[in-house]
Amino acid sequence: MSKKTILLIFLMVTSFIVFGCGKAKKNITLAGSTAFQPFAEKLADQYMQTKNDITITVQGGGSAVGIQAALSGSADIGMADLVELPSEAKELVATVVARDGIAIVVHPQNTAAELTTQQIRDIFNGNITNWKELGGADAPITVVSREAGSGTRSSFEEIVDSVRLRKDALIQDSNGTIRETVANDPNAIGYLSHGLINEKIKALKVDGQVSSEESIIAGKYKLVRPIFLLVKGNPAGDIKEFLDYILSAEGQQTIKENGLLPAKS
């Protein structure tokens, strides 16, 4: 093959890449909460099936990323699962699209079945360090937490209050990873979005309340936070249409089916 042919192919491939291989669709990018990410992706999939001219991309990163991405414009919609939005989010328009319980989870083989809020506080602060202090086996408690920018973590620490995470707590960077870590370690305890519970882990009762839909709706289970979708300026056009879809009966049904709570109840 002559050098000229190679060069030509090179150039063709380059322009192919740069200028795209399909007609460019309109794009909406969501970024932020890893707790809501799987749901956002599912909703996006369903929405795109009815609308062919729009592409919706979902990135993760945590609630703090969601707020910043919405502020800086790198995402059209920021996802944040916080009990209360911080001051820098004031200039964003927030829409509640779901509510989510935070479950305290342990390994399925762990004999513990319930904890009080004070016990949870003590465990995460490092005041209680062994399962036997709670009536379980003689084994050190491995505390697993999210990174500082996580909405789940901020919400957890705000609701439980006075939590100063023990220095040697393991840090993982998404709800899913916490689930995996707890599922693999019989002595671990962590917190994650109620919507992510599966058979690999066991959710504990908190103050006698199960982290179920009923107790959350009844207001009995306290570890709950709303899921906000944040937009810079008033939502308009495609963004508004997608938000409307999420808030519609169909969108809320999807949210309910997959483990979150609807925005209103």
Partner 1 sequence: MKLIGEKGVHRILMGIAFSAISALLLITLFIISEGLPFIFEYGLTDFLFSSEWIPAEKKFGIFPMIAASLWVTFGAMILGAPLGVAVALFLSEYVPRSVMRIIKPTIELLAAIPSVVYGFIGVMVLAPIIRNYLGGPGLSLLAGSVILGIMILPTVISISIDSILAVPQSFREGSLALGATTWQTIHMVTIKAAKSGIIASIILGLGRAIGETMAVIMVAGNSVNIPGSALDSVRTLTANIALEMSYATGLHRQALFATGVILFIGIIILNSIASVALRKRAVR
Partner 2 sequence: MRIHPRLFQRGAVALLSGATLITLVILIFIIVFILRKGLPVVTLDFLTRDPESMGREGGIFPTLIGTIILPLLALIIATPLGVFTSVYLSEYTRETKFTRIIRFGTDCLAGIPSIIFGLFGYIFFVLTLEMGWSIMSGGLTLAVMVLPTIIRTSEEAIRAVPKTYREVSFSLGASSWQTVKNVILPNALPGIVTGVMLSIGRCIGETAAVIFTAGSSLRLPATAFDSVRTMAVHFYILAREGISQENAYGTAAALIIAVLAINLIAYWLMNRIIARRG
Residues contributing to the site for partner 1 (CB under 8 A): 61-62, 64-65, 67-68, 140, 142, 147-149, 167-173, 181, 184-185, 187-188
> Closer to partner 1 at the Cβ: 62 or 235?
62
Binding segment (CB under 8 A) for partner 2, from list 19-27, 127-135, 143-151, 249-257? 19-27
Q: Amino acid identity, residue 103?
A: A
CB 83 within 8 A of CB 158: yes
> Closer to partner 2 at the Cβ: 164 or 200?
200
Q: Which does 93 bind (CB under 5 to 8 A by kind): partner 1, partner 2, none?
A: none
Q: Which residue has the tokens 């060069």?
A: 7
Long-range contacts of 194-198 (CB under 8 A, 24+ apart): 194/100, 194/101, 194/102, 194/103, 194/259, 194/260, 195/35, 195/38, 195/39, 195/100, 195/258, 195/259, 195/260, 196/35, 196/38, 196/259, 197/103, 197/105, 197/259
Element housing 57 (H / E): strand 54-61
Element housing 242 (H / E): helix 237-247
> Closer to partner 1 at the Cβ: 154 or 215?
154
Q: Which does 126 bind (CB under 5 to 8 A by kind): partner 1, partner 2, none?
A: none
Binding segment (CB under 8 A) for partner 2, from list 38-46, 90-98, 114-122, 203-211? 38-46
Residue 97 CB, shortest distance to partner 1, in Å, is 21
Asked if residue 60 binds partner 2 (CB under 8 A), the reply is yes
Q: Amino acid identity, residue 109?
A: Q
Q: Which does 62 bind (CB under 5 to 8 A by kind): partner 2, partner 1, none?
A: partner 1
> Closer to partner 1 at the Cβ: 31 or 102?
31
Asked if residue 127 binds partner 2 (CB under 8 A), the reply is no
Asked if residue 125 binds partner 2 (CB under 8 A), the reply is no
Binding segment (CB under 8 A) for partner 2, from list 36-44, 107-115, 157-165, 218-226? 36-44
Among 99, 121, 146, 179, binds partner 2 (CB under 8 A): 179
CB 184 within 8 A of CB 109: no
Asked if residue 57 binds partner 2 (CB under 8 A), the reply is yes
Q: Which are the contacts of 15, defined by CB distance < 8 A and separation ≥ 6?
A: none
Residue 31 CB, shortest distance to partner 1, in Å, is 9
Residue 90 CB, shortest distance to partner 2, in Å, is 21
Write down the number of H helices and E strands in the chain.
Answer: 9, 12
Asked if residue 19 binds partner 2 (CB under 8 A), the reply is yes
Count Cβ atoms below 10 Å from residue 170 Cβ, excluding itself.
15
CB 27 within 8 A of CB 54: yes
Residues in the chain: 265
Residue 59 CB, shortest distance to partner 2, in Å, is 5
Asked if residue 195 binds partner 2 (CB under 8 A), the reply is no
